[in-house]
Amino acid sequence: MTAAEGSTAVTTTDASAGAPAAEASASPFTMVTGAPGAMVCEGDVCFVPGAETAQ
Amino acid sequence: MSTPIKIDIWSDIACPWCYIGKRHFEAGVAALGDDAPEIEVEYHSFELAPDTPVDFEGSEIDFLAKHKGMPAERVQQMLQQVTGVAANAGLDYDFDALQHTKTLKAHELLHFAKSEGRQLELAERLFKAYFTEGRHVGRVDELVALAADAGLDADAAREALESGRFADAVQADIAQAGAYGINGVPFFVIDGKYGVSGAQPAEVFGQVLTQVAGERDGAVA
């Protein structure tokens, strides 16, 4: 099982009212937390976010 | 009659989690059955690797290992993990066949397709071509063929690509992502209000859509 298939609780974070994450701090949207390990591609390495290989 | 819930999706054709996220989103909507609200989906451009050459000679492993300095074994492990998650989403990823390329022209074609009302068909065609068929989505000739597969006029698609008249629209999308603080993809904006980052499980998308639909009903009542 991957992180993307883990907890699916949906909570929201009002990014405009003190966001907990750097990504959310600049977002005008209310961020849906969802599964915290859901995969995202950033830059040109996009397989395991947060891994030591991400650049 | 209420207006559809707008779903704006920032993604890149070369993003494996974007295709997986697309499937999860679709599954989330489908799981709502008759309760699914009416939605309108629009794809927006996000170029993950602007420095990628159109014609990269080598495999995905070569690209990540040689150009990014990642250990080949680590790359292989990561690709296997992604392939496994994709399979769970019903997608048959083939990284051995994948042709790593720059996706700028593919994004221009997606904007052309939007102007023709066939963006969703083309998005699916491009993802499938890139991740499961080993097609080259950076070359004009190949993109024109894929456009035709998606029901677009081949000559018009070629003109759109060769003229570069949608290049500004691509850059506008990328700039908008930056203004929104979107650093990674896929990124879903639901009804212009909620942000969903990553290839979330299907039920997350279903729950957000249900919530938005409920909020709309509450506003009307």
Contact B12 A41 (CB under 8 A): yes
Contact A39 B48 (CB under 8 A): no
Burial of B105 (0-12, 13-18, 19+ CB in 10 A): buried
DSSP state of A44: T
Rounded-to-integer distance, Cα A39 and Cα A49, Å: 7
- Residues near B111 by Cβ (< 8 Å), separated by ≥ 6? B45, B166, B169, B170
Instruction: Identify each DSSP E strand in B39-149 by its residue range.
Output: 39-45
Cβ atoms < 10 Å from Cβ of A2: 16
Contact A40 B186 (CB under 8 A): yes
Rounded-to-integer distance, Cα A55 and Cα A49, Å: 10
- Return residues 7-46 of A near B (CB < 8 Å): 8, 10, 12, 15, 23-32, 34-35, 38-46
pLDDT at residue A23 above 50?
no
pLDDT at residue A17 above 60?
no
List the single residue in A10, A29, A42 with the smallest CB-CB distance to B193. A29
Residues B45-71: pLDDT tens digits?
999 988 888 998 888 888 888 777 788
At B178 the pLDDT is 95
At B204 the pLDDT is 96
pLDDT at residue A50 above 60?
no
At A53 the pLDDT is 38
Mean pLDDT on A10-27: 50
At A24 the pLDDT is 41
Burial of B128 (0-12, 13-18, 19+ CB in 10 A): middle
- Residues near B184 by Cβ (< 8 Å), separated by ≥ 6? A23, A40, A41, A42, A46, A49, B197, B198
Strands A41-42 and B184-185: antiparallel
- Spell out, as residue ranges, where chain B has pLDDT lower than 70: 1, 220-221
pLDDT at residue A55 above 90?
no
pLDDT at residue A48 above 50?
no
Q: Packing angle between helix B119-131 and helix B140-149, nearest 10 degrees?
A: 120
Instruction: Identify each DSSP E strand in A1-55 by its residue range.
Output: 12-14, 30-32, 41-42
- How high is the ipTM of this complex? 0.86
In chain A, the largest separation of any two C-alpha atoms, in whole Å, equals: 34
At B61 the pLDDT is 83
Name the nearest CA neighbour of A38 among B132, B20, B208, B212: B20
pLDDT at residue A21 above 60?
no
Rounded-to-integer distance, Cα B120 and Cα B42, Å: 8
pTM: 0.88
> A6: pLDDT confidence band, cut at 50, 70 and 90?
very low
Rounded-to-integer distance, Cα B210 and Cα B25, Å: 13
Whether B43 contacts B121, CB under 8 Å: no
Nearest chain B residue to A49, by CA: B184
Rounded-to-integer distance, Cα B14 and Cα A32, Å: 24
Task: Tell me the count of A-B CB pairs closer than 8 A.
Answer: 130
Q: Select the residue from B61, B196, B212 to test the A interface by mutation, using most A Cβ atoms within 10 A.
A: B196
pLDDT at residue A7 above 70?
no
3-state secondary structure of B34: helix
